[in-house]
Amino acid sequence: MDKKFFEKFDITLFLSVTALIVIGILAIFSATQSSASASDYYLKQTTFAAIGLVMVIIVMYIPPRYISSITIYMYILSIILLILVLVFGKTINGNKSWFYISGFGIQPSEFAKVATVLAIANFFYRSNEETPKIRFKDIILSSLLVIIPVILVKLENDTGTTIVMLSFIIPMFFWANVSPFFLYGLVTPVFAAVLAFIDIRLFYLYIAVILISMFFFKRNFILSGLLIAVNIIAGYSVTFLYSKLQPYQQNRIKAVFDPSSDPLGSGYNVIQSKVAIGSGGIFGKGYLQGSQTQLKFIPEQWTDFIYCMIGEEFGLIGAVLIIILYLIIIYRFLNNAYLSKNSFLSLACIGFASLFFFHMFINIGMTIGITPVIGIPLPLMSNGVSSLLSFLLMVGIGMNTYRNKDIFI
């Protein structure tokens, strides 16, 4: 091929993505081969993977100004679909977040993630044309772009996607040069709430650290006091609300952080997943030879718990390879964001890198018991058309960024 083609084609990103898709299809086949109701899942995944890879190439060649111009319409459409699914959607596992069309399930919230990232990126790009300085109203308006879909997804009872849609705010705000103090104020209450829930002593220590940190920011007394007050309220609110729950409700929450407290209920999948991964050893039991996978100890393993199949049948080597491929993809997004002279695409790549990282970290963490089980797929590998196509759309825009890295809109 022409040398200039490879100069504008992010071959590393494309090959890493393709490798994960192929491994994912093999994993889905292994996890579903003895399940009559799911035996054709790998065929659907293969078909839409092929369609998605063609979409990646098409999106790569779309002029960035066109992507920017249709962003607002993509965002509005995603909001409309999120509203419609609340009315006409099908409830699965307690989540009313699916449309079913001709036997195919479509989850609007997966595409809403992409649309929201693009909307925020485009908003800051347009605002930067007016003034290079980020104003407080810019922060409020951009936050509303996230809050609206987050509320709608929460109404679907999809906690996992709700949390995911908050994961890219801080990285994108940081890349857009929002005040570090403001970002600090967004992050610290979350940690205050978590630490207060785990151990109140850790919470008190954390508040002391925040008090000390105020000297480094050198903000006025009112802003510093407000930040400290928000953190204290966040911590005490969690402990107060938890104390008001019924014992069975408290036990369910405990099981999220400690699966062994409910080994036959909410903790079952995590326990079986850890057994599967641990039994794989270094080299694994061999493809189609995993007892936990083949005997269906983990329900619907081809979705959120696909990674434990990799650990069992391909061992530590296969499990580490998957992580390396994800890190390469995340690095390529960050690299493309850094190289791009186009602030819109640069910001979008930061948002997509955040989504890939958060999904990877939480999903793999679920399977090995270090993060709560909140039901989010492993990018490009878990069975699911909506998830697969939404992540491939991100890849297409990432490759578009690389191709047009020297071009302004």
Least confident of 101-105, 206-210, 326-330, 393-397: 101-105
Distance CA 41, CA 409 (A): 41
Question: For residue 304, what are its two tokens?
Answer: 């959120």
Mean pLDDT within 148-152: 93
User: What confidence tens digit (pLDDT) does each residue in 338-378 have?
Assistant: 999 889 999 999 999 999 999 999 999 888 877 777 778 99
Given this model, what pLDDT does residue 396 score? Answer: 97
Greatest alpha-carbon span in the chain = 67
Distance CA 353, CA 203 (A): 30
- Vertex 326: Cα angle to 325 and 327 (nearest 5): 90
3-state secondary structure the chain: CCHHHHHCCCHHHHHHHHHHHHHHHHHHHHHHCCCHHHCCHHHHHHHHHHHHHHHHHHHHCCCHHHHHHHHHHHHHHHHHHHHHHHHHCEEECCEEEEEEECCEEECHHHHHHHHHHHHHHHHHHHHHHHCCCCCHHHHHHHHHHHHHHHHHHHHCCCHHHHHHCCCCHHHHHHHCCCCHHHHHHHHHHHHHHHHHHHCHHHHHHHHHHHHHHHHHHCCCHHHHHHHHHHHHHHHHHHHHHHHCCCHHHHHHHHHHHCHHHCCCCCCHHHHHHHHHHHHCCCCCCCCCCCHHHHCCCCCCCCCCCHHHHHHHHHHHHHHHHHHHHHHHHHHHHHHHHHHCCCHHHHHHHHHHHHHHHHHHHHHHHHHHCCCCCCCCCCCCCCCCHHHHHHHHHHHHHHHHHHHCCCCCC
- 96: β partners: 91
Distance CA 402, CA 398 (A): 7
- pTM for the predicted model, two decimal places: 0.90
- Mean pLDDT highest for which of 31-45, 91-105, 217-231, 389-403? 389-403
Say yes or no to pLDDT of 248 above 60.
Answer: no
Distance CA 281, CA 279 (A): 5
Say yes or no to pLDDT of 8 above 70.
Answer: yes
pLDDT category, 287, cuts 50, 70, 90? confident
| CA distances, 54 to each of 40, 106, 148, 385, 388 (Å) | 22, 19, 32, 15, 13
Contact residues for 246 (Cβ-Cβ < 8 A; gap 6+): none
Distance CA 261, CA 406 (A): 55
Closest CA to 312 of 328, 297, 327, 329: 297
Contact residues for 176 (Cβ-Cβ < 8 A; gap 6+): 124, 134, 347
Alpha carbon 183 to its chain centroid, in Å, reads 20
Given this model, what pLDDT does residue 135 score? Answer: 75
Number of Cβ within a 10 Å radius of residue 90: 12
Say yes or no to pLDDT of 405 above 90.
Answer: no
Given this model, what pLDDT does residue 245 score? Answer: 67
Closest CA to 10 of 398, 406, 407, 408: 398
User: What confidence tens digit (pLDDT) does each residue in 92-146 have?
Assistant: 766 777 777 766 678 898 999 999 999 999 998 887 765 566 777 888 888 899 9
- Residues for the chain: how many in total? 409
End-to-end CA distance of the chain: 28
- Vertex 361: Cα angle to 311 and 196 (nearest 5): 125
